Structure 1
Amino acid sequence: MASNNQFNGDTMLPAFQANAKNNDSGSKSSSKLFNELLETSKNLPSTSSDLGPILLSVNEMKKRAQEMRKMIPHDSNHTKAHYLLAGSGLGIHEVESSLKNLQSSELLTEQRVAQGYNDGDLDTYLHIKKDENILSSIEQSLSLAAKDFDNFVNQNFNLDWKQRKDEVRESFGILVKKRQNSSTYDTSNLAPLDPKSGSLWGKPGRGLLDGDSRLNVNENYIIREKFEKYARIIYRFNNSRQSHNGDFQLTKEFISIFQNTTDSKYRQLLDGWEIVDNAKDHSNTVVSSKKYLENQFLNYVDKLYSKNPSEGLPTNVNKIRAFIDLKLKTGKNTWKFSNLTIVNGIPVWALIFYLLRAGLPQDALEVVINNKLSFKKVEQSFLTYFKAYVTSSDHRLPQEYVSRLHTEYNQHIKNALDSDPFRLAVYKIIGRCDLTRKNISSITLSVEDWLWVHLMLIKDDMDVDDPVYERYTLSDFQNTMVSYGENRFNNYYLQVLLLSGQFELAVQYAYKINEIDAVHLAIALAAHGMLHVSTYKQDELISVNDGQTQINFVKVLGNYTKSFKYSDPRIAVEYLILIALVNQNEQIELAYEALRELILETKEFTILLGKINSEGIRIPGIVEERQPLLQLSDQKDFLYKITEQAARRADEEGRIHDSLLLYQLSEEYDIVMSIVNKLLGELLSTTDLNQPLFSFDDNNETNPVLIAKKLIEVYINNIEISKRVQQKNKETCITLLKLVDIRTSFPSRQWQNTLQQVEDLDLIPFTDESSTRTRAQEFAHLDENILKNIPNLLIITMLCISNIIKQLNDSDYQSLTKKQQIDSLKRVAKNCMIYAGMIQYKMPRETYSILINIEVGL
């Protein structure tokens, strides 16, 4: 900027001194004074502020003085000027006198210039005017460039330090309270989940695959081995689903992983899987849980009997008798309970109870019938009750028997001092008696026995006439189990939650045992339609909606996949498509979103989405191979909902090369060509003219020139693809590639060849002066990627002409041909300058100044 001021000052100084010579002696001193001021002003700094340059021409000073004079009242004195000039020794009257002398000198100069024009000195004036235009253009360009830089700095470095502080605090886990109601709180980037599109792109915070899990499946050999075992099962499970083979036993496959475990912690998981396997075939939780507990008990009895066989046939009754002898006898003829009803050496009520416990009501009925004569007087009607109970479809007493049994229970059994505790238990179970006290404290029961008794007392189909004290539903049972909590059940709490039908809480608790196992428990429950799934919420695993406990299934799978999405993207796909196991619109859309997120984060486009080879043939990736499991009707649907949406996301995030590949995979060939044209246009317009556009080491997947050359060949040669690309886009790409050739010739100083290439390109007027205006009118209608390269093309043309003329002038030979060549080149330059003048304000500001400087040197 300093050199620019010096140049302007030297340009103005001769004219000023010429005027001063024609003044009287008083004006000479004034001129000398103002010359000193002018020289002093050269040391003042020049800025790019809105004040403009400090060094001004006389005309500009006059113009500004007149503007300032209009703003000053006529009666205003010059008090402020006195203060300003006090230190310089100037009086205000001297300044006024000097200004008047200057004004009269300026008028004389104007008259002489006018006389010069009349005398035919027009060329001199035009030359001076041209110099002034050049200097003005340079000054303006420098000033505006500095101003643009200041604006850029202000826009890009004006940080919100409070926001940055909050972000840093949050990154260290320090919670920051958001001021939701503040008028300065920007909510413009918040976008709710749209069930139709499933898009969470506008939502702030982590994505579906960026949860709070710290699991690392590659941490050690044991974890990796378990991960791979589960992954192989999931892969085969998806294969079975895709082939519509319903024989795949998912839960039994998971059970096989725990068959040989001895750890009590993992024994919970094995029991849990067996409960799930039993429950998958039942729609009623109470029925399936009773059945499981009864089978479990009977299997236990069988194992005991096989180790301690007794006399007689191995019937169910004999096995239960053997169990009772082992558990209730303290000696050969002594029992743990003194008040047992013993018939023929058998505690008959205990035998009935444990036969019911083993799920053998028909065997229990036979025992009752065979021993009816041994029942006491108050028990004579029991055979009637029990027979009705066993033969009913739902193991419920008819209402006419319920009242009678309750009366007998309350009068003779409930408070009897010598009552057999197993008799009380049998009466309580078949008649649902005294539900205010559901426990049977006189009998030592295992956790499984205790759960079984509670399940036997549940009745969900309550009548409105049933008294409150007889109400006990599954919901009551569930609340009871949760109120006791895991501490009450030690290492049996997972089974308790599963047996009570609280599958969502069971998954949550399983995370405390092992995260990998918890995830696969959720998958199995979802596969069998046993999970209640919530809408996606980033920070909630369990929620309650209308009294129903729900689990965030997307979070379960997203968190798990986070640990191996980079190391094993194929396996990640197998898990993420399981989100669509829950056949709900939102879950299916979230499966698409999770897959798009996996694609964009891992960038494994070939593995996940496939590729299009050089012949234009599509080779599918793993996601497309699993298309049937994502409820996508056809390939077109897949390309739109997965690949193209991922491409749009990448485009929105400014990941141009990723979006380019994704649009290519989604077969949006016209969009691909548009992006390539944009990349190529940007590269050509922003790269210095003396720099190469690419090197032979460049990646053909990231360099726009190599991409464009490859694509234009495929898109033109493949008829089907060519039909799907607009002709204008293809023509633009071809033109830009020709510009690449020009830019390759130019740095190698092939002036003649480069100029010929520009002429062949036929974008700017060369020899036909009449077409210049037409070309200028067509300028605005050019493709924007070509349009932005016209300025550089003009500079290249003018530089080529300048260098060719210089070469001709430097040559030794003189001929008419040489002069004709130079004249021809100057005509081309003239056409270019006329064209540039017509589009001057549609080009960068500095371009026209550069062209003028080149033209001056011709």
Structure 2
Amino acid sequence: MEVDPGFGDLLQQAQQLTSDMDSGGDLPRVQRNLHQIAETGERLWSRTAQIGQDSTDVRASILLGSKGFDLPKISQKLEGLSTAKTFEPLEPLRDTDINGFLRNERENALLAAIEQARKNTSEETEKRHWSGLEEEWEREKQKILNALIGSGQDIRDFTQESESILSDSISMQGRSAMDNVEMAYARQVYMYNDAVIQGGTRPSLVDMFSEVANKLDDQNVIEIWQMVQHMVDIPLTASSNMLSARTGKKMQIALVGQALKYLELSYKSYIQKTIYGNLQKAQLGGIPGSYHLVKSFLNIRLPTNTPGLEDGLVDGTPVWAFVYYCIRCGDLNAALQVVNKAQQHLGEFPSYLKEYMGSDNRRLSHNNETKLRLQYRRSIRNCSDPYKRAVYCIIGCCDPKEDHSEVAEKTDDYLWTKLNQLSYDAGSNDTNTQQDRMTLQQLQVMMLEEYGESHFNAYQNPYLYFQVLLLTGQLEAAIDFLSRVERLRSHAVHVALTLHEMKMLLLPNSIQAQLLSKENADPSGIRRLNFSRLIMMYTRKFEATDPREALQYFYFLRDVKAPQGENLFMSCVSELVLETREFEMLLGRLERDGTRKHGAIDKFQADTGKIIELVALDTENKGLFEDAVKLYDLANNHDKVLELLNKLLVQVLSQAPSPQSNKDRLNQMAISIAERYRALGHEGTVSNTSTFYLLLDLMTFFDLYHTGKPDQAIDAMQHLKLLPFTMEDVDTKVNNFKHYTDEVRRSLPDVLLATMNILYTQYKHIRTSGAQGQSSLIGRGLVATSSDGGKETFINYLRSQAKSLITFAGMLPYRMPGDTNARLVQIEVLMN
């Protein structure tokens, strides 16, 4: 037995070969490096590759030839195979083959119709899909935009507002998401709406909200409502075009006049506080009136030896400073008293002041204004007394670009000066006059666009910037700015409510516009406030926890139209109900006797049924069919209730009964509605009603089937007369099938299978236990004719019923699921 050599033997043999090579002396030993070895290898490989294909063919011929295949002939056959299309005809149709031509045309027409139907279906499906997505996105976009704070113009404050939104969501864990300020305002809104609904004289909304401000004990908030009280206290005329009214001379004069009145009263209050804080230096005395009040104020503020003051003193007080501060307090009579005491030094100015006082809008006649302007340009402009220059500019509307910084130290003073210098004669053709004048529109553009929020450091001084915008007649911009400050948003919303009820707000044409927007045709300085968005943005915070309060705010939108033309109040109510799911509290509920218990919506005496039906429609469109059934029932739309219930019942019809399941819940709701409709009547169509009660009976049939009561189940099915149990009834039942609704047709496959399974169960039972054959025959009115007690007769009876069902299923003009017929036939085969 040979032994395989080990590693040591191999090593010894290799060493022996090496020694033999070294000992050979005939030929020298060749030495090569790695590069030379690689070149030699590549050269040998190239030689081998040239004959590789031929050797491959030779090897293939040898291999296949040994098995009886001829390789050249096989190659020829493969190359000659036709690549004709599968659906091409094997032989062309002859021109005289009319039958073939017609058959071909018919098939082509069918194929074309099928392809066109498929294409149309695909396009329609895609169109509806994108339409549904667009509608859903539009709703979500509205929610997102309403949740966002601001108009999108101030990106710098966006993070601060985002944090405030987050803090709001965290604080909503309590019973209410509203703070004490919001609740106080909400109580006033409730009382106001209640008064509006009851009819009669409406209370003053601005006074009601001012009461809230006074109770808050916040001086800044009190001043906000004092400003609003002044700005709304103007004569309003019923105008369908608020833009033309706001840009008209009459309303502009009224707004500016109220703004001046507020600034003058607040400055007089400031003077009084200054005096009472320094009574010793003021030397007020006991005589009332603005004359002595201003004189005491100047004792504190302006030393008599101040350089640059002209035209002497009146009662020891510089005359022009005395006049200026009397006018600044709004007391022109006091100013005239000062002027009369120094008229020998003032030239024609006393006559100018008297005319200024006697005019309706504090304006001189054209001739006197021209004279005063000329005098100002010649001498007054370059005088050293800043008070004299300021008084001339105010009385004659001179030099509106002059800031008068020596006199107007605060923003209030600057604003008061500019408002006094406004011109309302926009139609003047004098170019030089126009250049030397300032209109309210120009002042608005300067405050909002040229200076803007950064100049006034608005977010550090929000009350000041709000005052600037409001008193220059920019009501919408003022509300928009204040609403972007989270802690002041509630005040902004209720200022907007006040102005909206006064019909003073400019609203955009679309409720989908930004919070603050500008139409293309609007003049410069005019902005529009999206009041609807402001309300929905405000209520978003607390509508989940305080839906009743949100409902009160939505009532202000009752006259606004949504994009689809529906009432925005109703749309907001619908969304509120769907978001909060407080159906009973908001919309009411249906009692057992069919009467509806009122909900919160009934307080507004609107068309409650229409609102409920709109909510039901929105609910149905969102696929919430169970909620939609309850809402349609609440709105007394009985036919829609039955229609949706039929769609719901058919989905759970064949399921096995189970506590707390969808089927159990739907069954209880359907039975409750059926009992009430039978007792009280309803307005549903015959088709939906008959389908509804048939589906309820079929549900009973399936419950008996799943609970192991086949005899009762088959009896129930026979009473329904839906299926044929004899061959004579097949044609009748097939014809009746055409009159059933789609819900019944969809349930038929499951009904057939369940009935066949019951027959097969009875068949197996009678086969294994024939003792009950006689009783089963008697129970069905049959007579046993055999000695086996009727067993065979009953089996034949079951087989005939199964055959009737199979025949019925085959004759139905309805495409059932693919496995239904197969399972029916399989069960019948098992019974035979």
From 487, 508, 516, the equivalent of 1:542 is 516
Give the counterpart of 1:426 among 383, 391, 411: 391
Contact 1:218–1:224 (CA under 8 A) maintained in structure 2: no
CA 1:840 to 1:361, structure 2 compared with 1: closer, same or farther past 3 Å? closer
Match of 1:454 among 413, 418, 421: 418
User: Aligned letter for 1:475?
Assistant: Q
The correspondence for 1:743, drawn from 672, 677, 702, is: 702
Amino acid at match of 1:244: G
Tell me which residue corresponds to 1:836: 809
2:788 alignment partner in structure 1: 815
Match of 1:616, SS?
A: coil
Change (3 A) 1:786 1:534: same
How do 1:581-600 residues align onto structure 2 when only pairs under 5 Å count? 589-600=567-578
**Residue pair 2:291, 2:334 contacting (<8 A) in 1 also:** yes
1:848 corresponds to 2:824:
no
Task: Give runs of aligned pairs for residues 346-425 of structure 1, distance below 5 A.
Answer: 346-372=317-343, 375-376=344-345, 379-417=346-384, 420-425=385-390
CA-to-aligned-CA distance 1:337-380 (integer Å, 9 cap, x gap): 654620332323222222221111233223333443xx32xx33
Q: What are the Cα deviations for residues 148-189 of structure 1, in whole angstroms up to 9, with x where unaligned?
A: xxxxxxx9xxxxxxxxxxxxxxxxxxxxxxxxxxx9999655
1:86 is displaced (CA, Å) by 7.4
Aligned counterpart, 2:736: 778
Conservation of the 8 A alpha-carbon contact between 1:208 and 1:597 = no
Deviation, 1:438, is 3.0
Partner Cα separation in structure 2 for residue 253 and residue 739 of structure 1: 62
Q: Which residue of 2 aligns with 1:714?
A: 676
Residue 184 of structure 2 corresponds to 229
Q: Cα offset for 1:249?
A: 3.6
* Pair 447,741 (structure 1): closer, same or farther in 2 beyond 3 Å: same
Structure 1 residues 238 and 587, CA gap change in structure 2 (3 angstroms): farther
1:260-314, Cα deviation, whole Å (9 max, x unpaired): 778xxx7544322221111111243211111111121223334445553622421
Name the structure 2 match of 1:683.
652
Give the aligned partner of residue 579 of structure 2. Answer: 601
For the structure 1 residues 292 and 246, does the alpha-carbon distance in structure 2 shift closer, same or farther, using more than 3 Å as the test? farther
Q: Which amino acid aligns with 1:787?
A: R
The letter for the 2-side match of 1:406 is R
Q: In 1, distance between residues paired with 2:677 and 2:429?
A: 79
1:292 matches 2:258: no
8 Å Cα contact 1:268/1:494 also seen in 2 = no
What is the Cα deviation at residue 643 of structure 1? 2.7
Closer, same or farther: CA 804–412 of 1 in aligned 2, 3 Å: closer
Distance change in 2, residues 1:567/1:408 (3 Å): same
Q: Which residue of 2 aligns with 1:37?
A: none
Contact conserved, 1:532 with 1:549, CA < 8 A, in 2? yes
Residue 430 of structure 1 aligns with an amino acid whose one-letter code is I
Q: Which residue is equivalent to 2:154? A: none
Q: 1:537 to 1:462 in 2, by over 3 A?
A: closer
Matched, 1:212 2:212: no
Change (3 A) 1:704 1:260: closer
The answer to whether the aligner puts 1:520 opposite 2:494 as a matched pair is: yes
Distance 1:816 1:185 in 2: 64
5 Å-filtered alignment, 1:391-790, equals 391-417=358-384, 420-435=385-400, 437-466=401-430, 467-482=433-448, 483-490=450-457, 491=461, 492-510=464-482, 511-512=484-485, 514=487, 515-536=489-510, 540-545=514-519, 546-547=522-523, 548-580=526-558, 589-628=567-606, 635=607, 638-640=608-610, 642-685=611-654, 687=655, 691-692=656-657, 694-695=658-659, 697-698=660-661, 703-719=665-681, 722=682, 724-767=683-726, 769-790=727-748
Q: Does residue 1:203 correspond to 2:135, yes or no?
A: no
CA distance in 2, matches of 1:86, 1:449: 113
Give yes or no for contact 1:190–1:204 (8 Å, CA) kept in 2: no
Question: What are the Cα deviations for residues 456-509 of structure 1, in whole angstroms up to 9, with x where unaligned?
Answer: 101123342342233211011112222223444452212111111122222232
Q: Which amino acid aligns with 1:455?
A: L
Structure 2 partner of 1:195: none
Q: Structure 2: which 5+ residue stretches go unaligned?
A: 1-59, 71-120, 150-161, 235-250, 772-786
Amino acid at match of 1:827: S
Count of paired positions: 647
Alignment of 1:289-328 (within 5 A): 289-306=259-276, 308=279, 310-328=284-302
Change (3 A) 1:567 1:777: same
Distance 2:751 2:454 in 1: 81
Residue 198 of structure 2 corresponds to 243
Deviation for aligned residue 1:674: 0.8
TM-score by length of 1: 0.69
The verdict on how the C-alpha distance between 1:586 and 1:818 changes in structure 2, with shifts beyond 3 A counting, is closer
Query: How far 1:539 sits from its partner (Å)?
Result: 7.8
Deviation at 1:246, TM superposition (A): 4.5
Q: Does 1:254 align with 2:212?
A: no
3-state SS of the aligned residue for 1:310? coil
Cα RMSD of the aligned pairs, angstroms, is: 3.5
Q: Does structure 2 conserve the Cα–Cα contact (< 8 Å) formed by 1:580 and 1:588?
A: no
Q: Identify if the C-alpha distance between structure 1 residues 583 and 727 changes in structure 2 by more than 3 Å, giving closer, same or farther.
A: closer
Q: What CA distance in whole angstroms lies between the structure 2 residues aligned with 1:400 and 1:552?
A: 45
What code does the residue aligned with 1:454 have? K
Contact 2:369 2:396 (C-alpha < 8 Å) held by counterparts = yes
Q: 2-side partners of 1:806 and 1:509: how far apart? A: 83
1:111 aligned partner:
none
What's the TM-score, normalizing by structure 2? 0.71
Distance 2:637 2:394 in 1: 69
Pairwise CA distance, 1:755: 1.3
Does 1 or 2 have the higher relative contact order (CA < 8 Å, sep 6+)? 1
Return 646-655 or 239-248, whichever deviates more. Answer: 239-248
Q: CA separation in 1, counterparts of 2:196 and 2:285?
A: 51
> Partner of 1:118 in structure 2?
none
Structure 1 residue 581 displacement after superposition: 6.7
